[in-house]
Amino acid sequence: MSDNSLGTIVLYNTMTASKEKLETLEPGKCGIYCCGPTVYDYTHLGNARAAVVPDLMVRFLRHQGYEVKYVRNVTDIDDKIISRSAEQGVSPTDLAVRFTEEYHKDMTALNALDPDVEPKVSETIEEIIALVKQLVDKGLAYDMDGDVYYRVPDFKGYGKLSNRSVEEMLESAGSRIDVDQRKETPLDFALWKAAKPGEPSWTSPWGEGRPGWHIECSAMSSKHLGDSFDIHGGGRDLIFPHHENEIAQSQGAHGEDTYAKYWVHNGFINFAGEKMSKSLGNFFTTRELTAIFPPETLRYYLMTVHYRSGLNFDLEVTCPACHAVLDKEQQESAKCEACGHETTSDILKKQVRFPSLEEADDRLAYIYSTLEASQKFLETAKAPGQDVVVEGAVGEMLGAFIAHMANDLNSSGALGVLSKPLGEINGLLASGKGVNKALRFAIIDLFVKSMKEVAEILGCFGKDPSSWLVQRRDMKAARIGLDTDKVEGLLIERITARQEKDWSAADRIRDELTELGVSVQDGATGSVWSFI
């Protein structure tokens, strides 16, 4: 594909429903606005994906030489925040501040870059009021008892992003939800809401009130990126009505040819909710998962599938006695059909496994092990005096990786490109037989250098391999309830037995370790253990 030659980037644009070559308003620069979190609770994996996808985009564009201005908002005024704060007996502001902090912690854990600007609704009220006023003045909005509504049928382009027609929507309106009778048409949406007692509010030309849901993004993107900018991102569910309404507001105020040029929407995570009994609880917040898996495992997992596709989040619960997979009914009754074993909810909770995360974790460990061994090799081996040209899988790796990323951020395809080089490197590390010494060094050196760039783009594989592997091992040990000290003790016993060539004792100890869920690797430099 000639479109994929280095330097050209293709993105899928929801507005045109097709892949388009990225041509930014100003060559070499790119303004990105991304709908950030509503801060009323901890983030879940879906929120994590909605942040990691634009992060990947920003990193890649920067790697390709773009000067990116990345704006991601925080919605700190919202119905959900108000109702949650009422439930908890705290002020909406305190709740929002608290969960903004928690959001930042999760983002840091996931290695998502800070946006260049992180505007908050509460700090953009002035601009929001000005924008609403502009729409009222233009006749595109009207005031009703302190509420201000957008006059949807008067905006010609309404529905162009989500591919809906105003006529059809008017016909079906009201069939699903009750319509506020004060509105001129059911499609009209609130730009400004009159304050109810106890709610946070600001003084406006229409009285005390607060912004509606959609107006904030129009106001904040204009403020920080201008009335027109390059890329607007968010989850698929925001296409309608949120992004459609943003377009109506911004283009209504600033003109039809303004606002975002490319609309990029990420797919959903399919939670395996039906597979899991409610009584076992849900641990799908980012926080709960990063407590049992290295955060980078989550990030890696999110990139194993193309960003527009759905991502299946698997989990399974197994019988503690016979390890059969239990379906929802068996989880609820806490009884295994296969072997008849009866247990309790609490015990079953510990039996929950995340196969897809475990696979991602193993893969990441394989990659880091290869990096660790490569770095050790380069530290001890002698660099060749002359330049050596590296061809083959390792030589082509970075170019192929970038080509995939340039094709609508195809991280899945890009990750696939790494497999051959990894195999080749591990082969070279195991044995230098039949390979020119200088070439061997050059290949491994190029691999490590290429992986550094890959790590910059992905935000993965960039940690110190040894420390990451230690962290990962400790977390996995905790996950399966492994007594590490006991393992280490057995390992020492076994090393002694092996030195004395007492194979039967060595094998017996190995069986014990296997029981614990540990496998042993005997190598030239000693014995190490890992998980089965």
Residues 91-150 that bind RNA (CB under 7 A): none
Please report whether residue 410 would count as binding RNA according to CB under 7 A.
Answer: yes
Contact 412, 306 (CB under 8 A): yes
- Span of 42-50, 99-107, 117-125, 285-293 interacting with RNA by CB under 7 A: 42-50
DSSP codes, 16-78: TTEEEE---SSTTEEEEEE---B-SS--BHHHHHHHHHHHHHHHHHHHTT-EEEEEE-BB-S-
Residue 328 within binding range of RNA, rule CB under 7 A: no
404 binds RNA (CB under 7 A): yes
Nearer to RNA, 326 or 334 (CB): 326
B/e letters for 84-100, b = 16+ CB within 10 Å, e = fewer, are bbeeeeeebeebbbebb
Residue selected from 193, 224, 299, 472 as contacting RNA according to rule CB under 7 A: 193
Among 160, 164, 275, 463, binds RNA (CB under 7 A): 164
Residue 113: exposure state from Cβ atoms within 10 A (0-12, 13-18, ≥19)? middle
β-bridge mates for residue 192, sequence order: 148, 211
| Gyration radius (Cα) of the chain, Å | 28
Q: Which of residues 474-493 bind RNA (CB under 7 A)?
A: none
Does residue 310 touch RNA according to CB under 7 A?
yes
Q: Which of 93, 201, 318, 412 binds RNA (CB under 7 A)?
A: 412
Q: Does 416 bind RNA (CB under 7 A)?
A: yes
Query: Which residue(s) pair with 30 in the sheet?
Result: 68
The reply to whether 522 sits near RNA by the rule CB under 7 A is: yes
| CB closer to RNA, 412 vs 471 | 412
Subset of residues 56 to 95 that bind RNA, contact rule: CB under 7 A:
78-80
Q: Which residue stretch of 64-72, 130-138, 252-260, 307-315 sits at the interface with RNA (rule: CB under 7 A)? A: 307-315
- Using CB under 7 A as the binding rule, whether residue 436 contacts RNA is answered as no
SS3 track for 261-327: EEEEEECCEEECHHHCCHHHCCCCEHHHHHCCCCHHHHHHHHCCCCCCCCEEECCEEECCCCCCEEC
How far does the chain reach from its first CA to its final CA, in angstroms? Answer: 42
d(CA 97, CA 169): 38
Interactions with RNA, residue window 356-375 (CB under 7 A) = 356, 359, 362-363, 366, 369-370
Per CB under 7 A, which region of 94-102, 112-120, 354-362, 467-475 contacts RNA?
354-362
Applying CB under 7 A, among 46, 54, 252, 294 the residue interacting with RNA is: 46
Q: What is residue 120's three-state secondary structure? A: strand
Residue span 256-285 as binding mask against RNA, x where in contact by CB under 7 A, dash where not:
----------xxxxxx--------------
The correct pick among 32, 35, 348, 482 for binding RNA (CB under 7 A) is 35
422 contacts 370 by C-beta, under 8 angstroms: yes
Query: Parallel, antiparallel, or unpaired: how do β-strands 67-72 and 29-34 relate?
Result: parallel
User: Is the Cβ of residue 334 or residue 370 nearer to RNA in the bound state?
Assistant: 370
Measured CA to CA, the distance from residue 146 to residue 148 in angstroms comes to 6
Answer positive or negative: Cα dihedral of 100, 102, 104, 106: negative
Interface stretch with RNA, choices 111-119, 198-206, 476-484, 516-524 (CB under 7 A): 516-524
Question: Which residue number, 17 or 347, has a Cβ lying nearer to RNA?
Answer: 17
Residue whose pair of structure tokens reads 């020492």 in the numeric block: 492
For RNA, the closer of residues 68 and 409 by Cβ is 409
CA atoms of 116 and 121, how far apart (whole Å): 16
Of 22-30, 104-112, 236-244, 319-327, the segment contacting RNA by CB under 7 A is 236-244
Least distance to RNA, CB of residue 410, Å = 4
Q: Does 471 bind RNA (CB under 7 A)?
A: no
Among the listed residues 38, 85, 221, 251, the single contact to RNA using CB under 7 A = 38
